[in-house]
Amino acid sequence: RAHFNMFKLLFSCVFLVFLFCHWSLAAPIKNGLLLNGNFEYAPKASALNGTEIIGSMSLPFWRIRGFVEYISSGQKQGDMLLVVPQGGHAARLGNEAQLIQRVE
């Protein structure tokens, strides 16, 4: 019985992945599923203190709470090279930080 339940779970996961991939190919949405989802619209230079974003509404289409950095792919921080998995920019959240976007 345990093997049967495991098979059902595995089948369900594979089906959901297939369904999501099919849907995403059939209905492409520019810049991800959220507005500025890839963070390509940068905060104004006046809203940055180094890489830290200053102001709760400074990142376009997002509300910020806490310490959030705006980083670019290939940017170095000390000896560490920052990698962005998709696109050229990312938001890095500190402890207790939040990025909020209302979706309707």
CA distances in angstroms from 71 to 68, 83, 102, listed in the order given: 10, 9, 23
Q: Report pLDDT digits (tens) over 45-100.
A: 999 999 999 999 999 999 999 999 999 988 888 888 888 888 889 999 999 999 99
Residue whose C-alpha is closest to residue 64's, from 98, 101, 103: 98
Distance of CA 64 to the CA centre of its chain: 13
Reported pTM? 0.65
- Integer Cα distance of 65 and 78 in angstroms: 25
Residues in the chain: 104
Domain boundaries, the chain: 1-30, 34-104
